[in-house]
A = this chain, B = another copy of it.
Amino acid sequence: MTARQYETLELRFEGPEPEGSCVATDLRAVFSHGGEARTVKGFYAGNGEYRLRFLPEKSGDYTYRVTGEALPEPVEGAVEVLPADSGRHGPVRPDGTHLRCADGTWFHSFGTTVYGLAHQTRALIDETMDSLAASPFNKVRMCLFPKHYNYNFNEPESYPFLPAAGAAKRDFPPEETPVYPHFSEKRDDYWDVHHPDYAFWDRFEARMRQLQDMGLQIDLILFHPYDRWGFANLSPDDNLTYLDYLLRRFAAFPNVWWSLANEYDLCFNKTMEDWCAIEAFVAENDPYHHMLGNHNCFQMWDAGRGNITHISWQTKQPYRVAELMRRFGKPVLIDECRYEGTLPEFWGNLSGQDMARAFWRATVQGGYCTHGETFLPGTEMGDKATGTGEPEVVWWAKGGRLNGTSPARIAFLRQVVGELPGPLEPLDGMTSVLLGKSDPEAREVTDTAPGPLRDFFHAVLRMDRRERDHFIAAEYEYAGHCGEDAFLYYKDDQCCACADLQLPEGHGYRVEVLDTWEMARKTVLRGARGNVRVDLPGKPYMAVLAVREES
């Protein structure tokens, strides 16, 4: 038997359907390679079939031993894992404040959002996949559970669980459920989480494989509050049972990330204790330590927690990326910052310019950004969102076609970043280094400043921390660098007719002016060093890139 490094290896066994819970089967395998062993749990896939999945991260000879009640006797075997195919880089994991694939390749995340991707008709899903394949995006945020929210009220083809034995059959009329049901105190026992609907899981999984084959990372949202079926108010035990099955099936996928929630803090029926239990369960039951984050509406999930690999942040505050990178030493992903579109809702009506700008602002500091598209159905742009004839298709909710102007600009940015000699670190401006600092922390910086600057800083410190942060935020200069090898300045809304750079004296730099909106770049200086001025066209969305020349 052979397998491929970074690709899911699967063993299948026939056996009787588990009695009681179909989730908690004791089937497991130990995979051994070069003195290292990893245990993985199996799952029941329906129709008398058990499966075990393993993700080999090294090439070479593996042996395995499978045990469990479902088997008449333990099964042993060997697998030859061939070196990775080109284009297969293995799971993404944090490396300091950046992201790297298992093979060492940097992963520059350029995400998009299609919450209900997998819960649409096949025709619409196919259209979405085509759009993704042609897009600059390499990560997609999508929900395991179906979604009940504005522009997203359609019924899914199936549900992840069967109804509880003896439960009266329920319908789920969208018009009878508000977008945010008031869940507090309420538990729903309609679903039997111990009996998955295998058709649902097979279908969902097929979409995940498809995305994987396209090279996309799946930021899989495990819970969300927009719900009329009761999935948002399972009991705490049921939450973990659901996760147990999900992790047994999906953890060996190389391209999966765990997003505990979309807007965890709007899940009004889950307590902080519930979330901590969920976080711990996922971390403990994922043998591969995939990316693990939790997405907020208001208060950012505590990124200092040990199991949390990165900041998955809903925010309109891109100026805080560097501050958070420094505070937590983890990658910062702005996983929601408003979407390009024309909805009346505040979060859904960014111009293409402002969506692209959000990516530039986050990216030049060494952070990452996530896209979404939301043109109002019933308008000209809204009606271009699909060719399937389905009503009310909004990319962010269901997929379809990308019609916005930002994806091309994001592609341009991705190309620029891909050519850099390494990941970007934030470059401080005069005041930005004080952002988020307490008074004593700020004074440590300012008291060591040279004479004239110290007077300025003392004036800055007359503002309390809140005032100071507002001030710094409003004039944040977005810039980053790769050591002394490259400097990237994003001029944002500034319509400068020139820019003054302070480059190191010790090397010569090739300086390029980039029009991030027109997607044009032009080398304007060679051998530049020290203080140099470059002409700019006096319009917004320009960037300047200085890359060290070979000496």
Contacts and interface: CB of A to CB of B under 8 A. Distances in A.
A315 interface: yes
Contacts of A494: 346, 349-350
Interface in A483-504: 493-500
Contact of A184 (B178, B455, B462, B493): B455
Q: Count chain B CB atoms within 10 A of each CB in A320, A344, A347, A460 and give the residue with the most.
A: A344
A467 B375 contact: no
B452 A539 contact: no
Contacts of A177: none
Interface string A261-288: 0000110100000000000000000000
A471 B346 CA distance: 13
Nearest to A178: B452
Contacts of A376: 496-498, 538
Nearest to A467: B299
B455 A182 contact: yes
A379 B535 CA distance: 10
Interface string A221-265: 000000000000000000000000000000000000000000001
Given A497-B343, A498-B344, A538 B470 contact: no
A469 interface: yes
Contacts of A473: 470
Given A354-B493, A497-B343, A497-B344, A538 B379 contact: yes
A463 interface: yes
Contacts of A381: 497, 538
Given A381-B538, A465-B466, A349 B298 contact: no
Interface in A70-115: none
Copies in the complex: 2
B298 A497 contact: no
Nearest to A337: B474
Interface in A191-249: none
Contacts of A495: 341-342, 349-351
Q: Count chain B CB atoms within 10 A of each CB in A266, A459, A477 and give the residue with the most.
A: A459
A392 to B, nearest CB: 14
A266 B459 contact: yes
Contacts of A351: 493, 495, 539-540
A172 interface: no
Interface string A282-310: 00000000000000011110000000000
A459 B265 contact: yes
Contacts of A178: 452
A182 B540 contact: no
Contacts of A182: 451-452, 455
Contact of A477 (B346, B465, B471): B346
A474 B299 contact: no
Contacts of A463: 298-299
A415 interface: no
Interface in A445-479: 451-452, 455-456, 459-460, 462-463, 465-471, 473-475, 477
A467 B533 CA distance: 37
A224 to B, nearest CB: 14
Nearest to A464: B299
18 contacts: A180-B456, A182-B455, A268-B459, A298-B462, A298-B463, A299-B467, A300-B467, A315-B471, A317-B471, A342-B538, A346-B475, A347-B475, A349-B497, A349-B538, A350-B493, A351-B540, A375-B538, A381-B538
Interface of A: 178, 180, 182, 184, 265-266, 268, 297-300, 315-317, 320, 341-344, 346-347, 349-351, 354, 375-376, 379, 381-382, 451-452, 455-456, 459-460, 462-463, 465-471, 473-475, 477, 493-500, 533, 538-540
Given A351-B540, A381-B538, 4 more contacts: A299-B462, A342-B497, A376-B496, A381-B497
Instruction: Pick the 6 closest A-B CB pairs, nearest first.
Output: A316-B474, A342-B497, A342-B538, A376-B497, A299-B462, A349-B494
